[in-house]
Each structure stands twice: as structure tokens, then as C-alpha cells.
Amino acid sequence: MKPTSLLFVCLFAGTVASDAGVVFEDHFDRYTDGTTLNGQTPVAGSGTWTGGGGWKVNDHAVSLVGYSDTVYGYFTSPLAAGQKLTLTFDTQAIDGFLDASWAVVSLYDSLGHETYIGDPGDPTSPDWIVGGNIAYKQTADTNQANTATFTYEFDTGKWTFSTNGGSYNGTGPAGYALDYLRIGAGGQSDYAGKGVAGNMKLTGIKVSIEPVVVPELKVTAFTRVNATTYQLEWSGGDGTNDVEASTDLVGWTQILYNVASPITVDTGGQPTRFFRVVEPATP
């Protein structure tokens, strides 16, 4: 029997998205105490803060003065294919946050899909929560003074959420072109007998959009199992890939779809057979 010859060809599918960078940012210590956030121009963003007059700066941070109000900030560009959004904001302790009614930072797209972070208003669960259309996770973190970070990939729907108390991840719907945010609070409950309106105190907020970088796809090992079977291992890519086979390096046939390393391949009785690992074709 003629020896079997095998060749592995790895294809790398990189991102084509451009680096959009910071699309929204503001630091509230740059405002004079008593400043109403509505109408102010953020450090980065499109236009001005827009909303009611209840969100005011005091002691280098912005918080709600009154019963219920919202204010909106708009990105310089929306999230798009091949990109990942990162939202980060810092909070300080204040009555009404994680102990009364709702107080959240929300992300939206033009269709109104919302993802909120903070306290949605469950008086029995005074924890940091991410919820809405993309993700849901109720944490055990009850610290008002915190740093919250949320990421979302446009193409895959993969998300992460973290506070100082822990990190979480999951996958939600893909394709939400997030392009503005809202800071909002209001309502009232009597959790722990406090009976105060929902509130949130932020010192800064930032949204950036960056290209999703896919690690280079390459074969790392090829091990003979028996006379006709081999184990193929690779690294990089997006985690799941297709495997194709050929007898002449011209015509290729898909033999495995959407698989993760390692896998086994069979020569199929051919004296010469070639294999390659590729990124799945974009629909």
C-alpha cells in the first residue's frame, strides 16, 4: 500500500471593521456643582446631553435631584458588523441605589432594544443586575460604590458583565446597532424601611467601539491514531471552524462543520488526501 500523504492549510479570516474608538464619554468632576446635565456637551459624543432637568452635578458626580427623571447621550457612531462595544461607568454610594426603586444606565439601538445595568427596581433583590433584550444576570454584589463594565459583540451576541464583585458572560441576540445611552432613576419603594426614590450617583461614563480581533488560525498538532485515522488540533480563529478535504488541492469538500479542536480525520482509503481548517463562511 502506498503511504498516505497529508497536508494542512490554515486560512485566517480577520476583521474588516475599522477602529471607531471612543464614541461617548463624560467626566462629571469637570462641571461646577449645581450644573444641570441636560444641555451640557460631553467630552465625546454627538450633540449634548438631552432630557429632564433632574440630573445635577454635586461633589464631582451627577445624581438625581427630585423624584423621577432621565437624560440621554448619543454616540458619534453606532455599533456595526465586526465590532464590539464596551460600556464602563463608576458609581458612588447614595440613598436610593440598590435599596429602593429603579436606577439604571441603559444602552439602546434605534429600534428601542434596551439593555440596562444597575437596579431595575426589585425591592427584594438589592443587587447589581444586567437585563433587557441582550442579557440577564442578577449578581450578589450589593456595593453601591462600584465600577460596572458591559461588553457586546455585534456579530455573535456575546456579552460580558462585571462589577467589583465578579464577572459574568453569555450570548444574546446579535445585530443590535447600539447608538445611545440613558441614565434614569425614579419610583419609590420601602425596601429596608427607607422609603426613598430611586437614585444613582455617577462620577464618569465611557463607551468605546473597537474591532473584534480574531486570533490567527493555525494547526498546532497532527497525531497518528491508527493506519487511516489522525487527530488534528489547532488554535485561534473564533473557536469553531470547518474542516475540508481534497485529493488534488483544487476541489475541496466540507467533511466537518462548526467544530472545535481537536477532531479526528480519516484518509478515506485514498493514497493521497489533503485537509484544511477554515473559518465558516459568513452567511
Q: What is the DSSP string of 125-158?
A: --S-EEEESS--EE-S---SSEEEEEEEETTT-E
As given in the structure block, the three cell numbers for residue 12 are: 485566517
Same domain, 55 and 148: yes
Helix (H, G, I), strand (E, B) or coil at 102: coil
- Per-residue pLDDT at 195: 57
Same domain, 256 and 119: no
Same domain, 220 and 205: no
State the pairing for strand pair 55-58/114-119: unpaired
Low-confidence ranges of the chain (pLDDT < 70): 1-20, 100, 123-124, 188-196, 281-283
Query: What is the span of the domain harbouring residue 249?
Result: 8-14+215-278
- Segment holding 2, helix H or strand E: none
Same domain, 157 and 125: yes
Using one digit for the tens of pLDDT, what is the confidence trace for 174-217?
A: 999 999 999 999 876 544 455 567 899 999 999 999 999 878 88
Burial tier of 253 (Cβ tally within 10 Å: 0-12, 13-18, 19+): exposed
What's the structural domain count of the chain? 2
Same domain, 161 and 224: no
Contact 57, 91 (CB under 8 A): no
Contact 88, 148 (CB under 8 A): yes
Domain boundary, last residue among 172, 196, 211: 211
The dihedral built from the CA positions of residue 50, 44, 129 and 106, taken in this order, carries a sign that is positive
Per the domain annotation, does 283 fall within a domain?
Answer: no
State the pairing for strand pair 8-10/274-278: parallel
pTM over 0.85: no
